[in-house]
Amino acid sequence: MTGTHGPLNAFLDLRQMPVAHAELGPLAGLRLAVKDIYDVAGYRTGCGNPGKFADSNAASRTAPAVQMILDAGARFIGKTQTDELAFALFGQNSHFPFPVNPAAPDRVTGGSSSGSAAAVAGRLADIATGSDTGGSIRAPASFCGLIGLRATHGRIPLDGTMKLAPSFDTFGWFADDIETYETVGKLLLGRDPHHHPLDRPLTLGWLDEMVARPALAEYAGMKALAASVFGPMATPTSRFTASPDELYWCFRRLQAREAWAVHGQWITSGERGLGPGVEERFGFGRAVDDRTAQSEKVRRLTFRGELSALLGRDGFLVLPTVPGPAPYVDSTPEQFQAYRERALHLLCLAGLSGFPQITVPVGSVAGAPFGLSLLGPSGSDIALIRLGRKLLDAARKA
């Protein structure tokens, strides 16, 4: 692995080899980019780390979820950059030139699906695969003005994929038009097991309070747009047993502990040169003890039950995807960390529950994209995509 190529640093500089795809199908003629945590037959899977790339062998088969897209006619055009071991949120892998955000070049793309988001936003690809463990579909989609769904956990197979935190890991993809997005969704997801219509929009005040001040006015307009499409939003009086901060730490501890369980042995078996922040996050996971993990697992189950009861059969949450537009590329470490913590307070709900969440590009702040999210009950993924379509249609007409 020698670096990246192309104007946006989105694609890895790898020797291109033919990858079989169907000539006919609903995605025929569309270009597919694949995040470098997914196996593609004939290619090594580098996972954003040169040591991992050197240790790996060429994959003998393509990850099944990726293969489904190829079998529908999409044409593979290359592997895209990922944050190191997919354990970061801003798309700044210390081993490679950072991908460029085509929608806001002075701001980050978001990670860990950084190259994939840059490729689609820059019109270098029509579809790009990503993954979402802590927000790696939703944050880059919001930052780059794309559509991104975190699917119901376990609904799309992750065979042939680098694991990060298995009870949180999900397959995802980017597109910049809803027609393509829904076509891919139907292929990967089939019919929703959740059959009841989603027609009861909900809002929670503490989620709205996570929006940073520069984005407040735009967010109010986005919520007004949603109310014009879906009807008035109810504000439930019931509260979760856990506070927002407790949910944030529950996610952080469980995700990091699982990440250490998956990668810790490899990390400690040699000099891995992990980049700033990544090494610290793995170290944090190493320090989470059994008693703490068990307590957080109980908290997670309680929250999942409470969120399920809140949504019922017909409810969905309307919430900001992240606190505002992407941070600037030259933000200080302290500024990045403050944004990360605020963002994860929002992003952790879908991860802890396993419920689906879609972000759609209906806002902008200072010329930079800002996404609005819809979070629904388990198994309501296609329903959320269709609600997202209504929101995008209304935004275009506004």
324-363 pLDDT, tens per residue?
999 999 999 999 999 999 999 999 999 999 999 999 999 9
How far apart CA 124 and CA 234 sit, in angstroms, is 41
Residue 95 has a pLDDT of 96
Cα gap 85→383, rounded to integer Å: 31
Domain total for the chain?
1
Residue type, 365: V
- What pLDDT band is residue 239 in, cutting at 50, 70 and 90? confident
Find the helix packing angle between 64-71 and 178-189, rounded to 10°.
Answer: 120
393 CB neighbour count, 10 Å cutoff = 12
In this structure, what are the phi and psi dihedrals at residue 174, rounded to the nearest 5 degrees?
A: -115, 150
- pLDDT surpasses 90 at 176: yes
pLDDT of amino acid 2:
53
Mean pLDDT for the stretch of residues 129-145: 98
Of 113, 114, 131, 136, catalytic:
136
Q: What is the pLDDT of residue 4?
A: 74
pLDDT tens string 178-215: 999 999 999 999 999 999 999 999 999 999 999 999 99
319 DSSP β-pair partners = 373
Would you state the pLDDT for residue 398? 79
Tell whether the model's pLDDT for residue 3 goes beyond 90. Answer: no
Residue 230's domain spans which residues? 1-398
pLDDT, mean of residues 143-163? 98
Q: Mean pLDDT for the chain? A: 97
Average pLDDT over residues 22-29: 97
What would the pLDDT profile of 43-76 be if each residue is shown by its tens digit? 999 999 999 999 999 999 999 999 999 999 999 9
Closest CA to 372 of 305, 325, 320: 320
Indicate if 136 belongs to the active site. yes
The answer to whether 86 touches 303, Cβ cutoff 8 Å, is no
Find the mean pLDDT for residues 248-264: 98
Catalytic: 373? Answer: no
Taking only the tens place, the pLDDT of each residue in 72-108 is 999 999 999 999 999 999 999 999 999 999 999 999 9
CATH number of the domain to which 150 belongs: 3.90.1300.10
- Based on the residue annotation, tell me whether 186 is a catalytic residue of this protein: no
Considering the candidates 35, 52, 79, 223, report the single residue annotated as catalytic: 35
Catalytic residue among 52, 112, 114, 373: 112
Would you state the pLDDT for residue 248? Answer: 98
Angle at 92 between CA 88 and CA 94, to 5 degrees: 105
Burial (CB < 10 A; 0-12, 13-18, 19+), residue 232, is exposed
Q: Write down the pLDDT at residue 6.
A: 76
pLDDT, average across residues 244-260:
98
Separation between Cα atoms, residue 254 and residue 266, nearest integer Å = 19
